[in-house]
Structure 1
Amino acid sequence: MHSPYINTCFLNGFSSLVLSKGGNVSALYESVGLDKAIFSEDSLLIPYDKFVYLLEAAAAQLDFPDIAMQLARQQDMMILAPLGSMLSDCNNVSEALEVIVKYLKILVSGYQVDIQVQQDHFTVSFYLEQSHIQELVQYQDYAMASAVNILYGLLGRSFPIRACYFLRSEQDQQRISEYAQYFGCPVAFNNRTLSLTCDNSVLQLDIGNLVKQLNTRINNTKPVHNECIVKRVSNAISFSLTNSVYRLEDIASSMHYSQRTLQRKLGEQNTSFSALLDSVRFNMANQYLKNSYYRQTDIAVLLGYNSLSAFSRSYHRWSSIYPNEARKRMLKE
């Protein structure tokens, strides 16, 4: 079975961590079968197993066992930037968690997050279809660290997490102590599930301040000097497709432009929003079609379509063939 994909946005900060340890970023990418050009590109799709293998390779080669946790800490709440408009509609932590879980489920097929609410606490559990990946240290560290950093972003550290539970074993008491310090709660190893628990009293807390903080940080994130508006809009579209917030007004708002201003800027580059939307969808569709893991109905959802027929018609308009024929040709290559 082929691996599901993950967006390269989840590697934001990886290069700087590797360089801080004197590592060779290109060599690490190539060691796990990834094109070295990936680390200089935004919003590409890479196999999820190679994402984890990359973290494992960096941990081993650089003597950097905490790299997955440090990567998650660097990314913190900004990993949720594409959900800004949807989180603004949430009234409390419970609703925000539902939005985040849905986002992750769509973004990484085969990755499941379950939330179970009990009398005095709730449990968040993580499952991956690929059992050989689920057992790896860096997968568990990244999944748990990302979740904990998101929860602390939602709740603040004044609402501590009760405990974190890992699948793998760990006998080194010093390492266990380091994990407890990082996560800010007791940790336990050799458990049946990868999960964490938290007091359920926090589920009804308002997240208005969080949304304001997230929007402020997005506003203060300046684009790279001279970065092409076409690239910035294309990246914004690719992040937003799975959330069905990819209309012109949605993208313009996320970039803090009026619709008219964004249209004018794109016109100056001899393109339009609709042309970029088609281009992003076509390029992403071809990446998904090359991987037999994804059914065409899955691809339609990932590209923001309401039905397979709508996706098929669009693909035919772009390429003069239907996606099933395109897939057959790609898999023969």
Structure 2
Amino acid sequence: MFGGLYVSGALTGLLQEFLDSEKLEAPECRARLANWPADSRMPLSEWITLLDLVAAADSRPALGLAIGSRVQPRHAGVMGYLGLSCDTVGEALLRFERYHRLVYDGNPIQIDISPEGVSISWGIVHGRPGQLADETAIAAFATITRMLMDHPAAASKVEFVNALPNDLRPYEDFFHCPVSFGHARTTVTFSSDYLGMPIRYRDPSLRALLEQQADALLRTLPVNDDFESALKQALVKSLHNGEPTLEVVANSLHISSRTLQRRLADRDIQFHGLLEATRLALAREYLGNPNLSLTEIALLLGYSEQSAFNRAFKRWTGQTPRQARTHTA
């Protein structure tokens, strides 16, 4: 599901510092964090796995809010410092829209301005990263936004695509506004009055320099295309039908197996790795649905037996599906 999607390796510093401040051992998480230098591009699936390993060591509700609240501009690389150097919040928001792929190259961002306010939203065209990843990202976004102004602004509402948690209070206390779940897009909305507010650390000379650097980095990123979206949809369909093979997926795309292999090779994508990532992403989504049994989830993922699903999920995350469902609940 998340093949070809990445986050900045600088985010590993956020998790490392969180583990240190909370005095959490999490040896497997720490070992994997060491594999990703700050200037690397880390697969989104690896970022989600790292968050899960943190959750295995810290079972508090709404853990992502605690992680996201520790974010600093350095954890967003050049884009973090670029936002701080802008003149106004509106200008920083435009830079965020332009350069967000440098930090989170996943589901595309959409910014809308209406009489209701300014909304920044992310859909699920490339899958659902899960509540922990979503709340970490939105909490980090809110924390960075609060750093920009002398008088931090609060959102007017926050909406998540994920299932309603047992307790809304941690979310409402953190965001200082109504928070709801079960929407088509994850969205942060705030008053358009904030767009003209000056930024505390504005520096036009530094901004020009950082923009040059950000533009250069942006040019190195691969161009997203419709083929990968169609491929992921075909993979999900093949899993539901219990036939997740390269031949079946190629037929669904109306191309030959050899053409599919060539296109995957052109994008440095391994079919097996993409299949595993798709299964993991779907597993996280299905485990959040209390109406689905583990046996039903295994079948939806193309496994003939639940035991095979249990072994695969433990290999991916270090947890059994039952343990992961307990942490999500």
Give SS of 2:16's match.
helix
Report if the CA contact (8 A) 1:3-1:49 is conserved: no
What is the distance in 2 between the residues matched to 1:119 and 1:42?
40
**Residue 70 (1) aligns with residue 66 (2):** yes
* Structure 1 residue aligned with 2:95: 99
**Residue 211 (1) aligns with residue 202 (2):** yes
Give SS of 2:163's match.
coil
Report if the CA contact (8 A) 2:79-2:103 is conserved: no
Give SS of 1:38's match.
coil
**Residue 113 (1) aligns with residue 109 (2):** yes
What is the distance in 2 between the residues matched to 1:120 and 1:36?
41
Give SS of 1:167's match.
coil
Report deviation, 1:93.
Answer: 1.7
Report if the CA contact (8 A) 2:77-2:103 is conserved: no
What is the distance in 2 between the residues matched to 1:296 and 1:188?
31
Give SS of 1:203's match.
helix
Report matched runs for 1:80-91 at 5 Å.
82-83=78-79, 86-87=82-83, 90-91=86-87
**TM-score normalized by structure 2?**
0.57
1:273-318 Cα shifts (integer Å, max 9, x gaps): xxxxxxxx9xxx8xx8xxxxx4599xxxxxxxxxxxxxxxxxxxxx
Give SS of 1:117's match.
strand
* Structure 2 residue aligned with 1:145: 139
Query: Against the structure 1 CA distance between its residues 105 and 8, is the aligned structure 2 distance closer, same or farther, given a 3 Å change threshold?
Result: closer
Q: Gaps spanning 5+ residues in structure 1: where?
A: 216-235, 247-280, 289-293, 298-323
What is the distance in 2 between the residues matched to 1:19 and 1:84?
22
* Structure 2 residue aligned with 1:4: 5
User: What's the RMSD between the two structures over aligned residues?
Assistant: 3.8
What is the distance in 1 between the residues matched to 2:30 and 2:66?
18
Q: Gaps spanning 5+ residues in structure 2: where?
A: 226-261, 271-329
1:30-70 Cα shifts (integer Å, max 9, x gaps): 6xxxx46326x432222112102211232134314444322
1:155-197 Cα shifts (integer Å, max 9, x gaps): 455532111111112252xx31111111122211122210011
* Structure ranking higher in helix proportion: 1
Pick the aligned partner of 1:58 from 54, 77, 80.
54
What is the distance in 2 between the residues matched to 1:139 and 1:103?
20
Report matched runs for 1:1-333 at 5 Å.
2-28=3-29, 35=32, 37-38=34-35, 41-79=37-75, 82-83=78-79, 86-87=82-83, 90-133=86-129, 136-172=130-166, 175-207=167-199, 209-211=200-202, 241-244=213-216, 294=222
Report deviation, 1:98.
Answer: 0.7
Report deviation, 1:141.
Answer: 0.5
Query: Against the structure 1 CA distance between its residues 36 and 165, is the aligned structure 2 distance closer, same or farther, given a 3 Å change threshold?
Result: closer
1:69-112 Cα shifts (integer Å, max 9, x gaps): 22322124444562477557744221210101211134433332
Give SS of 1:12's match.
helix
Report deviation, 1:240.
Answer: 7.4
Report if the CA contact (8 A) 1:161-1:198 is conserved: yes
**TM-score normalized by structure 1?**
0.56
Report if the CA contact (8 A) 1:92-1:203 is conserved: yes
